[in-house]
Amino acid sequence: MVEGDFGPEAGLWHSRRTLARVVELLRPAVIHTHLAYADIVAATLTHTFGAITATTEHGIAADDTLYASSKNVARVKQNVHRYRLKRTDHVIAVSQSTAHLMKEKWGAGDVTVIANGVAKTSDPGLKRHTLGQGIRILSLARLAPEKNIQYLLRAMPEILRRDPRAHLTIAGEGPERDNLDAIVDELSLQQSVTFPGHVEAQEAMRRHDMLVQLSAWENLSYALLDARACDVPVVASRVGGNGEIFDEADLLDDLSPTAIVSAVARGGARPAANPLASVESLTAAIGRVYRGDSV
């Protein structure tokens, strides 16, 4: 491992210098970046010493302002992404939805779709409770505005009316914590909602009966992939790559309390027809991209 100043806190100049030094030192065969900042820094390198450059996109949304503070900022980001994609040899998207948006918004050319891989970890002997049996609901996401956790909280009074022993665990941390706490106080949910912070995903899935994720956008959510791999029932919004994990017909456009409670009562969404990718198939597909083979 090579350490150095890198990231938004270090600034573009220091980050670029660190990456350039590491590339010159190690002379890698491939420079593969993930997430916007690293993608942009890698695209500014003058010398890659013959290395193949690759990028995997995880974070583009249909709404340009979802990850930008204004439309002007969004336009600037679009132009930066167009620039860096032109300077990258191989472009990977985690879902068909992501690939479509990259072509539509950033002018991406050839995009290879390689789904995130997960390990199948279902436990057939594990008993799941349904609504009316003391259902244990899990939210597993960063506490951020785009995750729409407030909609789930506002559905809790009706869930508790139908199932007084129901409990909601909101796992994760983030800037929305104070706002979510205020909703809990407003609705007097203190006895029925807990905030444990970060948790181990698969263990949390074992201890809950349903995952609810109502995000404004997802590219290919690991929380949803893990839930499907663990056979945990899911209620989720009809956005982005969610329909590549679960049946589009069972996903929600309406995030009203009535719609959410009805979906919980139905037992969640059916899996999509396509099989889950494994970690082994993910790494094998990336290797084929590096070699220039078809995926």
pLDDT at 137: 98
pLDDT at 120: 85
Backbone φ, ψ for residue 212 (5° rounding): -120, 125
274 pLDDT tier (thresholds 50, 70, 90):
very high
84 pLDDT tier (thresholds 50, 70, 90):
very high
Q: Is the pLDDT of residue 295 over 80?
A: no
Helix (H, G, I), strand (E, B) or coil at 153: helix
Q: Is the pLDDT of residue 122 over 80?
A: no
79 pLDDT tier (thresholds 50, 70, 90):
very high
126 pLDDT tier (thresholds 50, 70, 90):
confident
pLDDT at 18: 96
Check: CB of residue 45 under 8 Å from CB of residue 16: yes
d(CA 18, CA 20): 5
pLDDT at 181: 98
Check: CB of residue 171 under 8 Å from CB of residue 138: yes
pLDDT at 247: 98
pLDDT at 102: 97
Q: Which two tokens stand for residue 236?
A: 């989720």
Residues 55-74 pLDDT 10s: 999 989 999 888 888 889 99
pLDDT at 93: 98
Q: Nearest Cα to 238, choosing from 69, 68, 100, 97?
A: 97
pLDDT at 264: 98
- Mean confidence (pLDDT) of the chain: 95
Which domains can be identified in the chain, with CATH numbers? 12-117+277-291 (3.40.50.2000), 136-266 (3.40.50.2000)
Helix (H, G, I), strand (E, B) or coil at 53: strand
Residues contacting 256, CB < 8 A, separation 6+: 151
pLDDT at 43: 94
| For range 125-140, the mean pLDDT | 95
Check: CB of residue 183 under 8 Å from CB of residue 150: yes
CB atoms < 10 A from the CB of 23, how many? 17
| For range 77-100, the mean pLDDT | 96
d(CA 19, CA 4): 8
Residues 230-268 pLDDT 10s: 999 999 999 999 999 999 999 999 999 999 999 999 999
Longest dimension (CA), the chain: 64
Q: Is the pLDDT of residue 2 over 90?
A: no
pLDDT at 4: 92
Q: Is the pTM of this model over 0.85?
A: yes
- How many helices and strands, by DSSP H and E, does the chain display? 10, 9
Q: Which two tokens stand for residue 122?
A: 């279902």
d(CA 34, CA 40): 10
Q: Is the pLDDT of residue 293 over 90?
A: no
Burial profile 55-94: b = 16 or more Cβ within 10 angstroms, e = fewer: bbbbebbeebeeebeeeeebeebbeebeebbeebebbbbb
Q: Is the pLDDT of residue 1 over 90?
A: no
**Positions of E strands within the chain:** 30-34, 52-57, 90-93, 112-113, 136-140, 167-171, 193-197, 210-213, 234-236
Q: Nearest Cα to 224, choosing from 116, 129, 133?
A: 116
Residues 159-206 pLDDT 10s: 999 999 999 999 999 999 999 999 999 999 999 999 999 999 999 999
